[in-house]
Amino acid sequence: MINRWIHFWILPCSEISMLIEKKNANQITFLEKIRLKAHVNICKMCRAYQKKVTLIDQLLSKHTNDEKKEGFENFEIQDFKQRMKEKMKK
């Protein structure tokens, strides 16, 4: 009986990686958040993985925010239209 409860609350590492990704995407439920915390508190490998994923996510979001464009240039739109017309003719 106790083993069932342990396996219910403490998920295996293979499932925790998905919860870590969901947490970074802000798509995690309350129950998943509790399960994630319970597992990460006892598993140092998953804790390290979570830190690395969070760091990479922060660095990538900072990098993409710096390079974010407001829109497309007119020549980019015209070039895209021209390529699409050529592909449609084929």
State the residue for tokens 């829109």.
Answer: 71
**Overall pTM surpassing 0.75 (yes/no):** no
| pLDDT on residue 66 | 62
| pLDDT on residue 3 | 67
Of the candidates 2, 66, 80, 16, the one whose C-alpha atom is nearest the C-alpha of residue 45 is 16
| pLDDT on residue 67 | 62
| pLDDT on residue 30 | 94
Q: Which domain holds residue 42?
A: 2-89
Task: Give the C-alpha separation, 28 to 17, whole Å.
Answer: 12
- The low-confidence residues of the chain, meaning pLDDT below 50, are none
Task: Give the C-alpha separation, 24 to 58, whole Å.
Answer: 10
Domain total of the chain: 1
